[in-house]
Amino acid sequence: MRFDPVRDRPPSPAGSRAYHQVRATLFNGEILVQVPYRPGLVSRVRRLPGRRWDPKLRVWRLPDTPAARNALRTILGVDPTRAVPKAVVGVPADKPDPPELLQRFDEEMRLRGYAVRTRRVYLGHARRFLRDTGNAPDLPTDLRAHVLKRLESGRVSRSYHSQLISALRLFCSIVLGRPIEELPLERPRREHRLPTVLSREEMQRFLAAVHNPKHLAILSIAYSAGLRVSEVVRLHPEDIDRDRALIQIRGAKGRKDRYTLLSATALALVDAYLEGASPGRWLFPSTRPGRHISARSVQKVTAAARRRARIPKPVTPHVLRHSFATHLLENGTDLRLIQELLGHASVRTTEIYTHVSRRQLRRIRSPLDAPSQEQEDTDVAVVE
């Protein structure tokens, strides 16, 4: 019978369901401990002697010593004394372990200049693939089966599907040494969805529902400059060019710098937020010292403001960026200028806002509202 480190361990002393998800595996003279993120569990793990967190593999590493095993048994109820043979977990003895493959994958992405967030997401896809297949998969069969399994796990968007394909193709090509053209991985057909846009009246209601000066400054800057949420949370005080009425965006998507608009109204809200305070390194710092406010916090603030403003549309920070571009287009701003302000690499990306702009549609009258031709002829005859 295949050894299961969860099923075959002693009963948990805590009796909690979360403890049944604790895994302890022996690899290369170390104990790898996986625990779900629970404050109580994490505090117990920190009591283990010699433990250290591996951010790449997202596991706790402990030296394989009698003291460490006894501590695991006492504190977490995990007994790793039964070693897991490599053949049992699907790792041939003459091949690297899955953690080594993931480490190599991360190093190759770092050498190629991939962003931190991209590396983290791609490592997650590769980790789940290796967990299902081991490090010596039958690629033509296992890749197809793994992708189908992920698609059947729940409601999966086309963007997630495409991201999964990108991660697996990169992993197989630069780590497993298989050319991309040999892999049975096809991208899904692209969706053509129009962005959600708030009207000007809805935007006024939305901003009026934000009462915290800091949050109001963040959302006003995001809308008035068309910023991504990752860009607005990383603003530095020196990025605000008051004399030229511009905002400098550094290292945005694609590692590109650009300038965008600085609204006088938004600047006044920023000054009101900064009155009597010094933000330090970040324009919008977090409550944790030395860090900027998180993108997740801005998303929560946006959702709360939408509920207070009673706006039925789904509103996210990116909807503010869509609204910025659409309102500029309706005001007659040239599409290429909007492209530069948004930081789009291609004008084709910006052209999507022409489909939601009312600038051209307002010139057309619906046939339900327009008088019929017969009525027009009758009116002309009466006049004559």
Enzyme catalytic residues: 228, 253, 318, 321, 344, 353
- Strands 52-54, 30-34: pairing is unpaired
Give the number of residues written for the chain.
384
Q: Is 305:210 a contact under the CB 8 Å cutoff?
A: yes
Residue whose C-alpha is closest to residue 323's, from 194, 192, 199: 199
Long-range contact pairs involving 342-345 (C-beta distance under 8 Å, separation at least 24): 342/226, 342/260, 343/249, 343/252, 343/253, 343/254, 343/256, 343/258, 343/260, 345/254
Q: Is 45:76 a contact under the CB 8 Å cutoff?
A: yes
Q: Is 114:163 a contact under the CB 8 Å cutoff?
A: no
Q: How far lies 232's CA from each of 261, 268, 276, 314, in Å?
A: 13, 16, 22, 20
Helix, coil or strand: residue 54: strand
Cα angle at 342 between 204 and 356, to 5 degrees? 60
The CB-side HSE value for 290 (13 A sphere, CA atoms) comes to 0
Cα angle at 16 between 70 and 3, to 5 degrees? 60
Residue whose C-alpha is closest to residue 189's, from 168, 161, 149: 161
Measured CA to CA, the distance from residue 359 to residue 354 in angstroms comes to 9
